[in-house]
A and B are shown apart, each in its own frame.
Chain A
Amino acid sequence: MMRRMMMVVAMAVPVMSAMACDLKVESAWIREAPSNATSLAGYAVLSNAGSKGLSVVSASSAAFGRIEMHETLMANGIAMMRALDKLEIAAGGKVEFVPGGKHFMLINPRPGLRSGDAVAIKFKDSSGCESTIQFQVSAAAAAATDTMDHSKMDHSAMHH
């Protein structure tokens, strides 16, 4: 009985992860930084394809010690970076993580990430659905002009 249950669980997990999640993460990229940087910033467009609100529960990757959601806030000309405790996306809604705004704080990166590399980040939403998204590492200076192009491109559909 116990063994059968475990088999069911083992079969269910890959089915779950292959299922399309309501949380969509697209146009995902990471700004290239010096190889000894202690944190990098990741950007993407997050949307909720479902009919109910959802929240991002966690993001993790073998390439980073820890991933947090952060936001750069401006007040009286002063930039302040603060952690976002949670992120909720309404049904059919969209939240953009862009330079100078919300971003993924990628703490303690694996050294040597270079422009052109792809890094897998696993997201878990409040429905328990998990999806793995490839984030493209892009050169810092190019990123400023590329922002527009990134928003139009759908990296999640790209094959590497």
Chain B
Amino acid sequence: MREASRAGKRRSVYIRMALVMTLGVAAGVTMFIATLRSGPATQVTGRNTLAALSELVDQQGRPFDAAKIHGRYAVLYFGFTFCPDACPLALSNLTVALRQLDPEAEKIESVFISVDPARDTPEKLNEYLAHFSSRIIGLTGSVQAIQAAEQSFGVIALEHNDANLPGGYTVDHSNDFIVLSPSGRVLMRVPANLSADELLAQLRTLIPVVEAIQPQARLHVSLAS
């Protein structure tokens, strides 16, 4: 009798443990899906992030139409043209990843946003971007408009004085690719110093997941293409 009750108790403990584990996994999956749906809690809503980009001009000096991004995935990178090492590495990786992603790359807008608007004129952006994928849009603008864009995407950019450098300074800046969903929400940040293959793997994994969870994402893409 005693043995049987102990065995029963043990069984109920196992059942309870299994239940807790199942609930835990379910909660994790739900949270993951919720994150993809709404973006991390700290992120500003999609509409606001795109609105900040509407104040900027592209490498031809034309006002940027943020609607161009809406309905498509976007990969944003904040950098500057006087940056000879980290930024060309990032843009090279992006160029290679976009080439490998073709024709899926059609779904992605790639945008390089200057953190050095004092020096990065549209002409400078145009010359610099000629060395990378022709798909990459370059954006610059007033100091205020650039700061607003940085804030919208949680990007940090700080001037660092170095008298030996041309112009006397460099810019320390967040070195991530920021991936936006077709509804303009931040889906993930990928360190920009990873290899092109790693960036490619992240985008390849992400796009089908988002499209499975957000049917409207596919709708936006088909509307846009």
A→B interface (CB under 8 Å): 31-41, 66, 68, 70, 72, 74, 77-83, 99-100, 103, 105-108, 139-141, 143-145
Contacts of B92 in A (CB 8 A): 99, 140-141, 143-144
Give the distance in Å from the alpha carbon of A40 to the alpha carbon of B166 in the complex. 11
Question: What's the minimum C-beta distance from B179 to chain A, rounded to whole angstroms?
Answer: 15
Instruction: Give the interface of B toward A (CB within 8 A).
Output: 81-86, 88-89, 91-93, 95-96, 124, 127-128, 130-133, 156, 160, 162, 164-167, 170, 172-176, 189, 191-193, 195-196
Give Cα A108 to B82, complex, Å: 12
Minimum CB–CB distance from A51 to chain B (whole Å) comes to: 33
Residue of B nearest to A68 (CB): B164
Q: Is the CB of A141 within 8 A of B128?
A: no
8 Å CB contact of A100 from B89, B172, B173, B196: B89
Given A77-B175, A144-B196, verify A72-B165 contact (CB < 8 Å). no
Contact call B84/A31, Cβ cutoff below 8 A = yes
State whether A39 touches B91 (Cβ < 8 A). Answer: no
**A143 CA / B96 CA spacing, docked (Å):** 10
Q: Which residue of A lies closest to B166 (CB)?
A: A38
Secondary structure class of chain A's binding surface, majority of residues: strand
Whether the Cβ atoms of B96 and A145 lie closer than 8 Å is yes
A78-B173, A107-B164, A140-B92 given; 10 more Cβ-contact pairs under 8 Å: A33-B88, A72-B193, A74-B193, A79-B192, A80-B160, A81-B85, A83-B162, A100-B89, A108-B166, A141-B132
- A36 CB contacts on chain B under 8 angstroms: 127
| A76, chain B: closest CB distance, angstroms | 8
In the complex, are the beta carbons of B85 and A144 less than 8 A apart?
no
Partner of A78, one of B85, B91, B174, B196: B174
Expressed in whole angstroms, the Cα–Cα distance for A100 and B195 within the complex equals 11
Residues of B within 8 A of A37 (CB): 81, 84, 128
Check if B88 sits within 8 Å of A99, measured CB to CB. Answer: yes
| CB-defined A-B contacts under 8 Å, sample of 6 | A77-B176, A78-B173, A82-B162, A99-B88, A140-B131, A141-B92
Could you say which residues of chain A place their CB within 8 Å of the CB of B166?
A: 38-39, 107-108
Query: In the bound complex, do residue A70 and residue B89 qualify as a contact, i.e. CB atoms below 8 Å apart?
Result: no
CB distance from A148 to the nearest CB of B (A): 10
Set of chain A residues within 8 Å of B133, measured between Cβ atoms: 141
The 7 lowest CB-CB distance pairs between A and B, nearest first, are A144-B92, A38-B166, A79-B175, A34-B127, A41-B84, A99-B89, A140-B131
